[in-house]
Amino acid sequence: QVQLVESGGGLVQAGGSLRLSCAASGRTFSNSAVGWFRQAPGKEREFVAAIGGNSYYADSVKGRFTISRDNAKNTVYLQMHNLKPEDPAVYYCAAKYSSSSFAYSKEETYNYWGQGTQVTVST
């Protein structure tokens, strides 16, 4: 069984930076695709970024967020810069281990999900 644990969330001023981590246990990340999603209060969960053979980003975060992976640490990161008032949400990481096509922005693509970490931006 795979467990994903997010960390690194917190309170930051608008324009600031945070780095989220997603650590996997039970299975290596090296043969998976990993995505980050977020859900703000009263809104549906939305795609943020994903990494497989390439990296993919939602238009709203392109140029500000960077997804990366450290296979040695079995961890995927989401570096967030220039945080804006529209970025606060619970951020979730998700992993895909199946060999099906990688529809990276679709929640149903992913097999495993973490519990989320809260990001708050003060203005």
pLDDT category of residue 46 using cuts at 50, 70 and 90:
very high
- Cβ neighbour number for residue 11 with a 10 Å cutoff: 12
Residues facing residue 102 across a β-bridge: none
3-state secondary structure 57-105: ECCCCCCCEEEEEECCCCEEEEEECCCCCCCCEEEEEEEECCCCCCCCC
Residue 102, pLDDT > 90, answer no
pLDDT of residue 89: 98
Cβ atoms 19, 8 nearer than 8 A: yes
Of the ranges 2-6, 63-67, 96-100, 118-122, which one carries the lowest mean pLDDT score? 96-100
Q: What pLDDT digit, counting tens, does each position of 73-94 carry? A: 999 999 999 999 999 999 999 9
pLDDT value, residue 101:
79
Distance of CA 13 to the CA centre of its chain: 20
Q: How far apart are CA 19 and CA 36, in angstroms?
A: 12
Residue 114 has pLDDT above 80, yes or no: yes
